[in-house]
Structure 1
Amino acid sequence: MSTVDLTGVRWRKSSFSGGEGGGNDNCVEIALAGHATALRDSKDPGPALVVPTAAWTALLTDARG
């Protein structure tokens, strides 16, 4: 199993995430790291799920379809 270095990646979260106590502060953040995409809980930015970017793109394409 290989590891992905997430040092210095730019984490982004949905523009729909308010964070003002309105119940919209629960979201997932993503970061692109070369051929990998990392996902994490914005409230607990410790561990991250890392998947191949091609798999993440396929998931989004299927979800939009």
Structure 2
Amino acid sequence: MSPRYPAAPGPRTGKRELRGQILDEYLADYEQRRGSLTPESQQAARQVFDEVFALDKERSAAS
């Protein structure tokens, strides 16, 4: 089975949408390998993911 990757962003795809696609793929892969996640676990993963990207944005702005 070949890995699934999110589609390349088009000119109208925003960064937030792309991040959402990446996270959705990660969660789907995780669930396929380890079993389903609770809605609370999915929300926690989304929060951590958003925080990491916020830190990345801050670092980019500081450079």
Relative to the length of structure 1, the TM-score reads: 0.30
Greater helix fraction, Structure 1 or Structure 2: 2
Highest RCO, 1 vs 2 (Cα 8 Å, sep ≥ 6)? 2
| Rg comparison, structure with higher value | 2
Greater strand fraction, Structure 1 or Structure 2: 1
